[in-house]
Every structure is written in C-alpha cells, then in structure tokens.
Amino acid sequence: MRVFILGGTGSIGTAVTAELCRRSHEVTALSRSGVADDKLRRLGADPSRGDLRAPAGWAAEAVGHDAIIHAAATFSDDMGGVDTQVVSALIGAAKQTRHKPRLIYTGGCWLYGETGDAVATEDSRFNPIPAFSWMVGNAARFLATPEFSAAILHPAMVYHADGGVFDRFIEPARECRPMEIWGDRQTRWPLIHRSDLARAYCGLLERPDLAGHFNVVSEEGVRAGDIMDAIARAFDNTLTPVTLSANDLVSRHGAWAIGPTLDQQMSAAKLRSETGWTPEITDYRRSDLFDELRQRQV
C-alpha cells in the first residue's frame, strides 16, 4: 500500500515506519526538518515537508495515499486545537477524493482514566484525563466520516530499547539521583513494547474491513513500583526514592503528567481475536531495553 504517516519520527512512529517499510509498503512521512528527513530516509521512507500546524499544505497529498497513519502530537498547550485542525483538514480533503483511504488514528490508554481492578476494553466508557480529552471527539469524527475506513488504536504505555515511558525511571537511576515515584508504587501501568505496537498498527492497517476502537497492550497492568525496582537494580541505585503527588507532577510537567499516576489495566482481546495479533514481548524485563541495561553492567 502507499501509506502517508504523521509522526513517523516519534517514539511510536519510528517503529511503525520501519515495520511498514519491512512489509514493503511505500511510505511517505510528514517531516518538518532536515534531521527528520534524514531519519525517515534511514528508516526507508520518503519525507514530505509539512507541519501539523499548517495541514492545508499537505492534507490533499495525505489523502491521495491508500492509507494514513496519524501518530503525531505537538505535546504543546494547544495540542488539542492543533490536532482538531489536522482532523478537519484531512476530513475536508477526503471529501474531495473518489477513493476511500484507510485511516488509523492514535488514541491511548489514558482515555480510559483510572480503571483500578477493572480492565478497560473497547466497550468501557471513555473517561479521559483533561489534557487528552479532545482525542475522544477527534477519534469519533474520523469514525463518523464515510470517506475514510477508520480505526482507532489505543496504545498502552510504550517502551523500547531507548527507554520510552521508562525514561522517567532510567534518567535519575543513571545519574545516581533518587528515583521518583509518580503517585504511588502500587499504580498499575498497561505496557506495550513498540515493536509489538508497530506490528499492531500494520496489521490493523492491512484490514480495512475492521472499523472502530482497538486497544493494544501486551502486559495488562504492571506495578510502577516493580518497574522502578527493576531499573534501580540494573543501575545499582540504592537511594531512597522520592514520592511526587499528582499536584507536584502537574505543576512541574504540565497537565499530561496525571497520566502516569492513573492505576490502569487494559485488554487487547479484541485486537487479538479480530486481527490475530499477539505480542512477542510479554515481560518488559525480557526486552531489548533490559538487555542493554544488563550489558552496561558488564
């Protein structure tokens, strides 16, 4: 397929772009810099210059492809407004085309809010953290647009060999500082390695008959305190961790920082049964990230 990806240089998008190319899809990726151009070419994609903040410049090009993957976000205070403009531009452009592009939009586990002992499925009610509440409406707009064959993928918290969501533990551990507990040690995080996530994007992309919401997760809920301990051991960091409240986190990092304090579990049973996807990495301690951490101890 000819695929246009937004966010092809990001934490998620890098792996998705590489997996698309590995599957011999022809990939064009939105790029806003020479650095991004180079990274995308190394992954096997063709960069196309454009900015999320100016979607009129590239929306028609995007919908001219067989499929679009949207895995970009500005993570600025106005990210919801920027995304809403992107969604409007893509829907407007799709109404001018004769074909029906496949579209995968990225949501996320934080749209389900705190689940506690319940496990979020696609039938669960959305209860998004305020910083990402706009995503629910934007996802609904794509699903309601008949000019697209749309599906929404909700990734769990994403880690990879360079860290990803584990960065907040790795950085202080590496720098011999006390590690930070965000909220509570008992908080559960749904996890996914980005290589498994990339296979989920591609599998769903290649099934345009499948519409609606799909969660993607390989470990339904892992205690944040256990992850922190595993990383502390890898760095021989024996300092007493500091606990940060949700208020501390929001004032320090912004409204999105409520996300990691949510006690969540999430299931990918629907994705597994409808696409046949299964994760290859089902224990974060047996991933390439922990291989790297072990190697640095040798």
Ligand X SMILES: NC(=O)c1ccc[n+]([C@@H]2O[C@H](COP(=O)([O-])OP(=O)(O)OC[C@H]3O[C@@H](n4cnc5c(N)ncnc54)[C@H](OP(=O)(O)O)[C@@H]3O)[C@@H](O)[C@H]2O)c1
> Given the structure tokens 């772009």, which residue do they identify?
17
Residue 42 touches ligand X, criterion: CB under 6 A: no
Phi-psi region of 24 (alpha: psi -120 to 50; beta: other; left: phi over 0): left
Contact 40, 29 (CB under 8 A): yes
Residue nearest to ligand X (CB): 10
Q: Which one of 43, 63, 71, 228 is in contact with ligand X (CB under 6 A)?
A: 71
Residue 10 touches ligand X, criterion: CB under 6 A: yes
Q: Which one of 3, 12, 119, 139 is in contact with ligand X (CB under 6 A)?
A: 12
Give backbone dihedrals phi and psi of 14, rounded to 5 degrees, phi first: -60, -45
Pick the piece of the chain touching ligand X (CB under 6 A) from 27-35, 223-231, 233-241, 271-279: 27-35
User: For residues 187-216, which are near ligand X according to CB under 6 A?
Assistant: none
Closest CA to 61 of 41, 46, 80, 39: 46
Q: Which one of 165, 202, 231, 281 is in contact with ligand X (CB under 6 A)?
A: 165
Q: Which one of 43, 45, 62, 72 is in contact with ligand X (CB under 6 A)?
A: 72
Residue 254 touches ligand X, criterion: CB under 6 A: no
Residue 157 touches ligand X, criterion: CB under 6 A: yes
The CB-of-298 to ligand X minimum distance in angstroms stands at 29
- Residue 177 contacts by C-beta under 8 Å, 6 or more apart in sequence? 239
Gap between the Cα atoms of 10 and 107, Å rounded: 15
* Interhelix angle 194-205/11-22, nearest 10 degrees: 60
Gap between the Cα atoms of 291 and 24, Å rounded: 29
Token pair for 162: 């360079």
Give the sign of the dihedral formed by CA 97, CA 98, CA 102, CA 108: positive
Residue 74 touches ligand X, criterion: CB under 6 A: yes
Residue 155 touches ligand X, criterion: CB under 6 A: yes
Residue 21 touches ligand X, criterion: CB under 6 A: no
Residue 53 touches ligand X, criterion: CB under 6 A: yes
Q: Interface with ligand X by CB under 6 A: which residues?
A: 7-13, 30, 32-33, 36, 51-53, 71-75, 106, 108-109, 155, 157-158, 165
